[in-house]
Amino acid sequence: MYAISLGDDGAELRPLEVWHAEELLAQIDRGREFIGRHIGLPDVVSDLDGARSWLRSYADKRAADAGSLHGIWLDGKLVGGLLFRVWDTPSGVCEAGCWLEPAVAGRGLVTRGLRVLLDWAFQERGMHRVEWHVSSANEPSINVARRLGMTREGVLRENHPYRGVRASTEIWSVLAPEWRVARVRTPRNDH
């Protein structure tokens, strides 16, 4: 098991696994409304069985090298997570995602964690392109893409019916050579 410090504030990145189901459910319960504004994760993690099967789906992805899930712990408490929802080694393309509970937003936890994961994706795993798919109404998440130096490539207009509204999805990405340049300018914990 790994545990990677994200700074000097007690934040850590660790694998989020099936045995964390109760902890995950409690975490989602603390932020159900906030987390669910643009993404369906709270609906998937609606109870303990839902939490277990979602975690198991990521354990399966990890076993197949088709995705991964990583929790963010702050002072020993699970407060959010990062994931590679899609991971395709042959094409060198993957898609990252994230969530936090509202009490810990605004501290750079997701940006700091993603810098670690993108370093790993590009440097250790040789990926070429990391994508970020985000609702055009999700300003905090769009800001994460900006902070990571991603480029906005386009909009899938009204492609995603969610809670009775047709949302549009923005596609952002960063390529390996761009990441190398950006990382020279911005070390991991730099703001």
Of the residues 27, 71, 108, 173, which one makes contact with ligand COA according to CB under 6 A? 108
* CA triple 38-40-41, angle to 5 deg: 115
Among 68, 112, 121, 179, binds ligand COA (CB under 6 A): 112
Tell me which stretch binds ligand COA (CB under 6 A): 35-43, 48-56, 153-161, 168-176.
Answer: 35-43
Q: Is 69 in the site for ligand COA (CB under 6 A)?
A: no
Q: Are 45 and 83 in contact (CB under 8 A)?
A: no
Q: 55, 68, 67, 93: which is closest to 13 by C-alpha?
A: 68
CA pair distance 191, 188, nearest whole angstrom: 8
How far is the C-alpha of 18 from the C-alpha of 1, rounded, in Å? 14
Residue 140 binding ligand COA, by CB under 6 A: yes
Q: Tell me if 70 contacts ligand COA by CB under 6 A.
A: no
45 near 56, Cβ under 8 Å? no
185 vs 179: CA distance, rounded Å: 10
Q: Nearest distance from residue 81's CB to ligand COA, in Å?
A: 9
Near ligand COA by CB under 6 A, which window of 22-30, 60-68, 137-145, 161-169? 137-145
CA dihedral 108, 111, 117, 123 (to 10 degrees): -120
Q: Which is nearer to ligand COA, 38 or 129 (CB)?
A: 38
Taking the least distance from each CB to ligand COA, the nearer of 105 and 176 is 105
By CB under 6 A, tell whether 144 contacts ligand COA. Answer: yes
**Binding positions for ligand COA, rule: CB under 6 A:** 34-35, 38-39, 97-100, 105-112, 134, 138, 140-141, 143-144, 147, 189, 191
